């Protein structure tokens, strides 16, 4: 039977977060209230060069109050995920990808938001017109062998969930017998 929605209202509409409250009927038949947030869908890109290095970025995150290493990516900002991925890759790393293939779709926090994150594998990398490393203030671009990025995941140096999943998926794809 699953869940059904009786009514829905917007409690707050902000520039990045919209908060909804729905009246629902739970799977057990009881009435309930379900609050959830709408945020932009996301993209994350595993960009691999010919030497097998992956491009990572490091920047300041407000909520954890620390620098985090993660894959290039961000919100789709109303674009289709493929277009958004190419845009984010160039904005954050200065790179254009000749080939962009889907690597999967994730639900980062499906009890709280419908927002999904689209993963891509980018190859055929070349410098973009911007001819710089990053347009983001304080962002550092890193190039690590994919195996070292996987070790950083295992050591909890990379903790952003969609980057973790995408790096491990790319590692599996690079060695299907793994």
Q: In what order do the strands lie in the sheet with 53-61?
A: 66-70, 53-61, 140-145
Question: 42-81 mask for a second copy (x: CB under 8 A)?
Answer: -----------------xxxxxxx-xx-------------
Say if CB 93 and CB 55 are below 8 A apart: yes
CA distance 151 to 142: 15
How many alpha carbons fall within 13 Å on the CB side of residue 123? 9
Say if CB 41 and CB 88 are below 8 A apart: no
CB of 114 to a second copy, least distance (A): 5
Say if CB 167 and CB 46 are below 8 A apart: yes
Comparison of 107 and 148: residue with beta carbon closer to a second copy: 107
Of the residues 99, 105, 143, 145, which one makes contact with a second copy according to CB under 8 A: 105
CB of 126 to a second copy, least distance (A): 28
CA distance 135 to 14: 25
**Tokens representing 70?**
């993660």
Q: Which stretch binds a second copy (CB under 8 A): 45-53, 87-95, 124-132, 151-159?
A: 151-159
Question: 9-48 mask for a second copy (x: CB under 8 A)?
Answer: --xx-xxxx-x-x--x-xxx----xxxxx-x---------
Q: What does the binding site for a second copy look like in residue numbers (CB under 8 A)?
A: 1-3, 11-12, 14-17, 19, 21, 24, 26-28, 33-37, 39, 59-65, 67-68, 104-117, 137-138, 150, 153-154, 156, 159-162, 164-165, 168-169, 172-173, 175, 178
């Amino acid at each position: 039977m699953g869940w059904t929605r009786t009514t829905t209202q917007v409690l707050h509409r902000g520039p990045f977060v919209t908060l909804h409250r729905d009246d629902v009927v739970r799977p057990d038949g009881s009435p309930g209230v379900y609050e959830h947030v709408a945020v932009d869908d996301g993209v994350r890109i595993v960009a691999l060069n010919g030497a097998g290095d992956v491009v990572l970025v490091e920047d300041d995150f407000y909520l954890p109050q620390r620098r985090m290493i993660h894959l290039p990516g961000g919100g789709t900002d109303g674009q289709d995920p493929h277009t958004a991925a190419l845009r984010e890759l160039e904005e954050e790393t200065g790179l254009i990808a000749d080939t962009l293939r889907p690597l999967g779709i994730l639900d980062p926090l499906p009890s709280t938001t419908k927002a999904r994150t689209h993963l891509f594998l980018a190859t055929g990398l070349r410098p973009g017109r911007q001819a710089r490393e990053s347009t983001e203030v304080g962002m550092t671009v890193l190039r690590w062998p994919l195996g070292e990025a996987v070790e950083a995941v295992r050591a909890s140096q990379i903790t952003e969930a969609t980057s973790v999943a995408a790096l491990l998926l790319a590692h599996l794809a690079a060695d299907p017998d793994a």
